[in-house]
Amino acid sequence: MSAILAIEDLVKCFGGLVATDRVSLEVREGEIHALIGPNGAGKSTLINQLCGELAPDSGTIRLAGRDVTRVPTPARVALGLGRTFQITSLLDDMSVRENVGMAVQVRLGHNFRIFDAVRDRRAVWQEADRLIADSALAPRAGVRVADLSHGEKKQLELVVALAMKPRLLLLDEPMAGLGHVESLAMIEMLRRTRESAAMLLVEHDMDAVFALADRISVLVYGKIIATGTVDEIRDDPAVREAYLGAEDELC
Ligand SMILES: Nc1ncnc2c1ncn2[C@@H]1O[C@H](COP(=O)(O)OP(=O)(O)OP(=O)(O)O)[C@@H](O)[C@H]1O
């Protein structure tokens, strides 16, 4: 399986602190690759470098075979990088359908001048409806974002990200703040998403990680200490050591 994302020897320092310490990691096409690690391990710092929000000090990031280490965020998005944004970026006064329609429109935007506007508008809504029908939000399509539950907003974030047709989706704690039922719905939705995009999943909820991940990389003090399947990571003594005090989470 080829790699949609290949990170090699990435380094990022904040003053004397090495927040990303020679990190190498691959996400393969069709894979859900979880990135776990204790608080302060450097997960967000790594994600921010992948998005282009933070410049690495050294090392390389390859996306779909192209070196994007010094490439700005929009060019990475054009190559297929997607990310779930904060719920605050959803438009509160607009419906689920309108939010998804806007995202589809952003993706198709530059074609608008070429094709007939009415036909394009129809294509936008058809695409938005298809994306919503594939999600758990189908019965809520006409509901205003302001009236959605927290879990539904997190689902909408994901649908909006998918509207950009990413090849690789960066997910920063999609389970955060969700109740049990909402978490199960999100896990189901991410399982279905795997068919269209590979994922790098940063998540503290180990049940979700173990339910979803094809492979897991463990980051501790900026270094990847292990990469492997769920069983390999569960049985790895160095991982257990790093999570000492939270061993229950790895059982
Ligand atoms: N802009 C910054 N300036 C200085 N230090 C920073 C900066 N951003 C992060 N750090 C430090 O880098 C280290 C890694 O932080 P980071 O937020 O990437 O960890 P994390 O694994 O995402 O943590 P959490 O799970 O709590 O979100 C921490 O010690 C943090 O204090």
Determine which residue's CA is closest to atom 29 belonging to ligand 1.
40
Q: Which atom of ligand 1 is nearest to the CA of 45?
A: 18
ipTM computed for the complex: 0.97
Measured CA to CA in angstroms, residue 245 lies from 174, 190, 241, 248, 250 at distances of 24, 29, 9, 8, 11
Q: How far is the CA of 250 from the centre of ligand 1 (A)?
A: 23
Highest CATH level, class, for 1-80+166-250:
alpha beta
Q: Where are the domains of the chain?
A: 1-80+166-250, 89-164
Pocket probe for ligand 1: among 13, 44, 205, 206, the residue whose CB has the most ligand atoms within 8 Å is 44
Q: Is the dihedral of CA 178, 219, 38, 55 positive or negative?
A: negative
Determine which residue's CA is closest to atom 31 belonging to ligand 1.
40
Q: How far is the CA of 10 from the centre of ligand 1 (A)?
A: 16
What does the block give as tokens for 190? 């991410």
Per-residue tens of pLDDT for the chain, all 251 residues? 689 999 999 999 999 999 999 999 999 999 999 999 999 999 999 999 999 999 999 999 999 999 999 999 989 998 999 988 655 678 999 999 999 999 898 887 755 555 556 566 788 899 999 999 988 899 999 999 999 999 899 999 999 999 989 999 999 899 988 889 889 989 999 998 888 899 999 999 999 999 999 999 999 999 999 999 999 999 898 888 887 545 445 54
